[in-house]
Amino acid sequence: MSAPDRPAPDAAAPDSAAPDHRRWLQLTLDLAREAQQAGSAPVGAVLVDASGHEVARGRNRVGEAQTPEHVGKASVAHAEMDLYFSVGKLENPQSLTLYTSLEPCLMCGGASALLGVGRVVWVTDDPWGGSGRLIAWADHPAMQDTEVLPTPDPDLERQGALLFAPEARRAFPDEGWALWRKRYPTETADL
Ligand SMILES: [Zn+2]
């Protein structure tokens, strides 16, 4: 289900359909489950180059201690920031695709655009915390180079919604949870 203001996956450029989105989106869900098992929020991210090779991976670490290798503890220790801090300076960022299990927040979406990452693809919408609707990706001059491809795989989208829904309910009470229930009624029905 796509909101009218978002481009449908079919409307993406021809080369957008070619990459193996499912493989990478599946990996972000695996990383999200790893984060959950470690006591953090279930979100994962992978950065992939134009040849289809993994450049870096990250996962949410908000529930874990800070280490020399990873951001942690702070509530901004999101999967994408974990990834970006670990990878250092990006080579040819416009050729890279960031895959995430959840629509990036304003911080992580903004970081992706600031770094000039060519494309951001996510498994599941975050109707409360996601930045896809907060950032006017196509209008802001600093963000024109980042293509956004939401939820290209309905089966994985549902898996991602089921995985994150309990965290959404905990972290986004009231209005945020209401938006989640509206966006994913089936996946939130038993919570
Ligand atoms: Zn974030």
CA atoms within 13 A on the CB side of 128: 20
Phi, psi of 169 (to 5 degrees): -65, -40
CA of 76 to the centre of ligand 1 (A): 7
Q: What is the mean pLDDT of residues 5-12?
A: 46
Q: Look-up: residue for tokens 């975050």?
A: 126
Q: What is the mean pLDDT of residues 26-35?
A: 98
**What pLDDT sits at residue 89?**
92
Phi, psi of 150 (to 5 degrees): -80, 140
Q: What is the mean pLDDT of residues 65-81?
A: 88
CA of 109 to the centre of ligand 1 (A): 7
Cα distance between residue 87 and residue 81, in whole Å: 10
CA of 175 to the centre of ligand 1 (A): 19
Joined together, the tokens standing for residue 163 give 């995985």
CA of 89 to the centre of ligand 1 (A): 19
Question: Rounded mean pLDDT of the chain?
Answer: 87
Question: Is 91 known to be catalytic?
Answer: no
CA 41 from chain center: how many Å? 13
CA of 96 to the centre of ligand 1 (A): 18
CA 178 from chain center: how many Å? 21
Beta-carbon neighbours within 5 Å of ion ligand 1: 78, 105, 107-108
pLDDT band at 16; cut points 50, 70, 90? very low
Q: Per the residue annotation, which of 54, 64, 69, 80 is the catalytic one?
A: 80
What are the angstrom distances between the C-alpha of 172 and each of 15, 42, 72, 121, 146?
A: 36, 14, 20, 23, 27
**What pLDDT sits at residue 18?**
52
